[in-house]
A and B are shown apart, each in its own frame.
Chain A
Amino acid sequence: MEFDLQYWHWLVFGMILLMVEIFLTSFTVFWFGLGALVVSAVLAFFPALSHPWQVGLWAISSVLFTLLWFRYFKPMMRDKSKAGNASEAIKGESGLVIAVPVGDKRGVARFTTPLMGDDEWPFICQSDVAIGDRIFVLEMSGNTLIVEKR
């Protein structure tokens, strides 16, 4: 090995990797970029570190960054929109019973804001409901809502 890796090689390499992430948008190269920056910091303090150890340290630090991200940072990211997610958008919505289910006929509930383009939906409820009761959506089954009375 004639070529000797300096700490700034790793620094530049890490920054290039961070920039590559802009074009790759897979959010994977980013961790390797951060890992390379860690290697450059360690190399600045211990210039005698051999090449295999440098590469190994790079791999390990990258894995650590990835794990840290999914363990601590991802739970902090909330969903900002339920657009295009019908099931998440309707769960927990409440409506009023305007027709009671009788026998095998389904009841009808009306919602103040339209749910998936309709403000009246047939529903199935395990417990008995009366007209005017407030029900909450649990699930959607075809064009019928599964609801519960709280």
Chain B
Amino acid sequence: MIFNGMIVSVVFLLLVLVTIFMGVNIVPQGTKYVIQRLGKYSRTLGPGLHFVIPYIDMVAYKITTKDIVLDIPSQEVITRDNAVIIANAVAYINIVSPEKAVYGIENYGVAIQTLVQTSLRSIIGEMDLDDALSSRDAIKAKLKGSISDDIADWGITLKTVEIQDINPSLTMQKAMEEQAAAERSRRATVTRADGEKAAAILEAEGRLEASRRDAEAQVVLATASQTAIEKVSQAVQGQELPVMYLLGERYVEAIKDMSTSANSKLVVLPGDIPAAVRSLMGSMMK
């Protein structure tokens, strides 16, 4: 009897042990447990210590409520200006209602990945390449708006989407490099032409200035000659002899110079120097 009582009490103890072990649940911070009562959703347990009725309630899903980082795989996207680029992104989602996430969709991770992928493709498809590279905020806002309604049923919030890197395809890269190189050489040519133009202008200005000065010099020379002639005429005043003397002296000097020059030793002398000088004077002496 005592032995039977012992068996009963030990089995009762085991029952109590298993029951309490199954009933006490510690939910760590950052997770939530979805509880099903006989197959139907009953409640969601937040962080902390909870007691669920064993054998009737069971923990069906353990869901993290921390932000989940979803890697959006690389894909080829064609922009509006027909550039083929390879883009990949990273999305941050947060499960706000665990029960909706587990009962609303089979695999929320894959679902959101594909949704973001297709939305991203259509959004970048409406943009030019340069816009796609520079307007991340606009892409983010559009993406959030476009998939917000789709993920509402799953109790998930898309916190942010960041485009990680956009790589143009090889031919596109080559074309971009060529474009950049052409732009540089264009600038070099323009700079060189600008320099040549400036040089030509400066040169012409120099010539203009020089001619102006030459003309002025000729005027000054002419004026000087005029003055000299006037002075000589004033000094002569119709008398022939001083002029004759001066000219004769010059004539003789010139012949002397000719005789000392290296290239010719043949000196022609006029027979009548006064007559020659007089003929040089011309009508002035008449």
- A59-B16, A60-B16, A79-B48 given; name 9 further pairs at CB < 8 Å: A31-B20, A79-B46, A83-B30, A84-B64, A84-B66, A142-B150, A142-B151, A143-B147, A143-B148
Chosen A-B contacts, 25 in total, with CB atoms closer than 8 Å, are A27-B26, A28-B20, A28-B24, A50-B2, A51-B6, A55-B10, A56-B13, A59-B15, A66-B24, A77-B49, A79-B46, A83-B30, A85-B47, A86-B65, A86-B96, A86-B157, A87-B65, A87-B96, A116-B157, A117-B159, A122-B148, A141-B152, A142-B148, A142-B149, A142-B156
Size bracket, chain B contacts? 35 or more
User: CB within 8 A of B26: which of A25, A32, A50?
Assistant: A25
Closest to A58 in B: B13
Is residue B29 within 8 Å, beta carbon to beta carbon, of the partner chain? yes
A83 & B29 in contact (Cβ 8 Å cutoff): yes
Is residue A144 within 8 Å, beta carbon to beta carbon, of the partner chain? yes
User: CB within 8 A of B9: which of A31, A59, A66, A70?
Assistant: A59
Bound complex: CA A89 to CA B6 (Å): 52
* B138-159 vs A, Cβ < 8 Å mask (1 yes, 0 no): 0000001101111111101111
A86 & B148 in contact (Cβ 8 Å cutoff): no
Known: A59-B16, A116-B94. A53 touches B24 (CB 8 A): no
A116 & B159 in contact (Cβ 8 Å cutoff): yes
Known: A55-B9, A144-B148. A86 touches B20 (CB 8 A): no
B9 & A56 in contact (Cβ 8 Å cutoff): yes
Is residue A81 within 8 Å, beta carbon to beta carbon, of the partner chain? yes
Q: For residue A26, which residues in chain B have a CB less than 8 angstroms away from its CB? A: 21, 24, 26
Closest Cβ–Cβ distance, residue B9 to chain A (whole Å):
4
Is residue A63 within 8 Å, beta carbon to beta carbon, of the partner chain? yes
A143 & B158 in contact (Cβ 8 Å cutoff): yes
Q: For residue A84, which residues in chain B have a CB less than 8 angstroms away from its CB? A: 29-30, 64-66
Is residue A62 within 8 Å, beta carbon to beta carbon, of the partner chain? yes
Q: For residue A28, which residues in chain B have a CB less than 8 angstroms away from its CB? A: 20-21, 24
